[in-house]
Structure 1
């Protein structure tokens, strides 16, 4: 025996059945000394009993000697007659398939262990393509068969990671690229915040990741059908003679946006290097080409904390707003058309003339005057533009929004109530607001002159922005006031919001006179109260000036100054 170990060549150790040693002891020996998993130990112990002897290895001579001595000590300590012998790998047990006296490697599939030479191992690997996927219960078994003949230390992995809000695009790209795998599996994810990788998939311990049904989640992209996105997936693939595997997983960190991770495993060497770079390039190109959200109105889903960490993308389905439905003074509409719609139409010519194609617009005016409605008009009438709507609470997500804007340009980035991020920390009582306006202005500074991104900011308090914006000239190219409606505008608003009411012209004229100085939001609420009064009196058959008197009095005077302010009403108005 010692002569076998003396030359330090590879050694095969054989465990012999003696009919007396308990099976449990043999299994324990296989786990503690030979590093077998629970499943492998059970299968190997059964083969020892059935065949009389089973080889383990081959191992380097020094390693085989240490394992042999450890096994003998355990056997003697427990008083068992189990016998272990060693042979030079050159004189080891013949291959189970071809019976040639070659060095063999053990492979376990569905509880059966086979000792195969390299040639038979490769043949078995090829035959695994014909095996149904349900034959593979654990990920490491499937990967061992797929990469049979390649030592694990000669398998390398490369990875790419995409933001979680690009999950639908990544799925579309994967579906296009991996159309004909040898096998495809879902993976059981035991721990939510532990990212699955090939290193963990190849563990053959008692906690080995198991093959599981693929799990999909529907992701809304604003189309009639959602995109079915995998939670995780494992593809076993082939390109010519090169075997490779692709793993899609979710990388999670607590209170952070999840990321989609794509990892490729393949044999080390020049063939693998030459394959992996073009593959990742094709993946990235397919992700960018997918652009599931292009041309839509979006916002990132925010977390509950002030940082606004996102979990995904919300698609807003807004009805198209016609120009006639935007009740603004004509001069305001002309400014909007020239500085937004007209600017977008002339971008190509501006670029040819060396002019910047980015732009910043500030909409300002009292609350309830129609700034949000104006945004909807622009968002639904800008050709081929993606609109990103950011609330003040989500400015902490500005970096993610800007990445989306660059990816999906031409884009319009809308930041509503921007004055809320301009206040001092002491005023807000929050820990993050101090530099958010500067962060926004820096993002606007950092854009290339030829990018097709339009910023649209809104505020009810322009005085709180004046000093900051004046100190960074050129960020806002045009400020546009959205004023309280004039007489003509109030008449249009009354007809728009009261179009279902039986309004006679005298009532309309009186309503126009009585609503001087109020907001569009006030008029909308006034029409609802007129409808209520009419329903109570005669079931909605008529609206009278007394209905108007009661509604105006209740909104402006009966509830006090605060009620009038909340409803967007003017102060100092008379009842009659």
Structure 2
């Protein structure tokens, strides 16, 4: 008798290695895995009461397809496919469920055992017979977060066996995985040859497109695209941000600045329908500029909260390589608010560029904002701390940037409002508020916010009750301005005063 033992190697039946199977058994000159042993056992000893030619004995998908399409042979049918980016996975799953209804296993749906995920799984592969035949398997799912505490349970692959009237058709869903990264989702429809089959495929894909464009679960949310560890140009997932609600009273800006923001964003959004009726563009570009920490991002959060029907897309310099995917998403989910933070990092003056890749990113941004493609209900809001470094073709050309809005450092009255806002429930006496407002002349809102947190920390350390003492506030201010040196003050957005005598 052959001496059997658990070992390392590759199964001679399914060609999987030891790490891919529960057990790999070595004989005198070959290996077989435990999965193949069980399959052989099931073929040799079918369960009692189940006919060998019944549906439960059809372990391979080519057998199920042959029965579903009989008397036509699957090889005589036509197949049409479309590829969808993985970022649409949740929307695609909801659209498929809406079109095809309840999945009943094994009546009209079956999961797939996909042996090698880097291979594109299509009907040509599913119809293969012999050693590499694709087997039925339990359906595999993954939970995709769509924000607000909600998830969508998405299939990783599956086969629908459907009928349209008396005509059979099949739909195959499979994810394609590149080595070391996630890829796209492929949908393939197989139907009878001829006009009816072609029309059926078109009708199903049109229904999918309609639901993807009109019924996205991401519409009206704040999104960014996740990047992979290895750069491959893919945008595998959508990340949903839960931003803190910002009221108008929490936006401490000069009234003229805030009014300009509201007129050019909120007012413009309310007039879009009338502007479109006049034949005017409904795309608008704005540039928020000012020293660091003056409230540009804070104001964007306020604006996004006032536009609940708009989908907000957050693009950082790190995500600039995914700009085409962001723009496709903005047009799909319009009306949209596209925010490009620190725009000077990807749109600085051409004369300062030495990298061809940077030039490509700049040109993509210019083309999108210039409206070379279809006009859409899209706001572009770019932020920068250094407007003088921006490419003139972006900053000095109407149609790309329609309005620039400066965010200045706060004056004395605004600093008092900021101190009251950031103190929250911290008991700061009115006289101390006045003194802090005077002492922080030239400081940014970000500096004042951190100062109030430091004061709270010092106040808790001395463990005294009642109002914040003058000495406590002085200790926090000294730590920020003098103990850390000039660099610390600049990093925190504060003016650097002369050291006290």
Per the normalisation by structure 2, the TM-score is 0.85
In 2, the alpha carbon distance for the partners of 1:353 and 1:230 equals 46
Matching residue within 326, 350, 362 for 2:287: 362
Tell me by how many angstroms 1:530 deviates: 0.7
Q: How does 1:165-314 map to 2 (within 5 A)?
A: 165-179=87-101, 182-254=107-179, 258-305=183-230, 309-314=234-239
Residues 367, 460 of structure 1: 8 Å contact kept: yes
Tell me by how many angstroms 1:423 deviates: 4.1
Q: Name the SS for the 1:226 alignment partner.
A: strand
Residues 392, 421 of structure 1: 8 Å contact kept: yes
Relative distance call for 1:156 and 1:354 in structure 2 (3 A) is closer
Matching residue within 255, 259, 274 for 1:334: 259
Tell me by how many angstroms 1:184 deviates: 0.8
In 2, the alpha carbon distance for the partners of 1:419 and 1:160 equals 38
Q: Which moved more, 1:388-397 or 1:272-281?
A: 272-281
Structure-1 residue corresponding to 2:324? 399
Residues 191, 198 of structure 2: 8 Å contact kept: no
Relative distance call for 1:180 and 1:257 in structure 2 (3 A) is closer
Q: Name the SS for the 1:220 alignment partner.
A: strand
Residues 425, 431 of structure 1: 8 Å contact kept: no
Relative distance call for 1:366 and 1:306 in structure 2 (3 A) is farther
Relative distance call for 1:170 and 1:418 in structure 2 (3 A) is same
- 1:523 maps to 2:448: yes
Relative distance call for 1:258 and 1:515 in structure 2 (3 A) is same
Q: Name the SS for the 1:234 alignment partner.
A: strand
In 1, the alpha carbon distance for the partners of 2:457 and 2:267 equals 42
Relative distance call for 1:434 and 1:254 in structure 2 (3 A) is farther
Per the normalisation by structure 1, the TM-score is 0.74
Matching residue within 31, 56, 67 for 1:145: 67
In 1, the alpha carbon distance for the partners of 2:391 and 2:44 equals 81
Tell me by how many angstroms 1:136 deviates: 3.1
Tell me by how many angstroms 1:287 deviates: 2.3
Relative distance call for 1:385 and 1:569 in structure 2 (3 A) is same
Tell me by how many angstroms 1:428 deviates: 8.1
Q: How does 1:122-161 map to 2 (within 5 A)?
A: 131=55, 134-161=56-83
Q: Name the SS for the 1:480 alignment partner.
A: strand
Give unmatched runs, 5+ long, in structure 1. Answer: 1-36, 47-109, 114-127
- 1:509 maps to 2:434: yes
In 2, the alpha carbon distance for the partners of 1:270 and 1:449 equals 33
Relative distance call for 1:111 and 1:138 in structure 2 (3 A) is farther
Tell me by how many angstroms 1:148 deviates: 2.7
- 1:346 maps to 2:268: no
Matching residue within 86, 94, 97 for 1:164: 86
Structure-2 residue corresponding to 1:478? 403
Structure having the higher Rg = 1
Q: Which moved more, 1:361-370 or 1:223-232?
A: 223-232
In 2, the alpha carbon distance for the partners of 1:508 and 1:566 equals 23
In 2, the alpha carbon distance for the partners of 1:448 and 1:434 equals 19
Q: Name the SS for the 1:311 alignment partner.
A: coil
Relative distance call for 1:501 and 1:39 in structure 2 (3 A) is closer
Greater relative contact order, per chain length (Cα 8 Å cut-off, separation 6+): 2
Residues 165, 311 of structure 1: 8 Å contact kept: yes
Structure-1 residue corresponding to 2:394? 469
Q: How does 1:377-388 map to 2 (within 5 A)?
A: 377-388=302-313
In 2, the alpha carbon distance for the partners of 1:508 and 1:366 equals 24
Tell me by how many angstroms 1:518 deviates: 0.7
Q: Name the SS for the 1:388 alignment partner.
A: strand
Relative distance call for 1:417 and 1:177 in structure 2 (3 A) is same
- 1:432 maps to 2:357: yes
Q: Output the aligned Cα RMSD.
A: 2.9
- 1:571 maps to 2:484: no
Residues 147, 242 of structure 2: 8 Å contact kept: yes
In 1, the alpha carbon distance for the partners of 2:355 and 2:332 equals 32
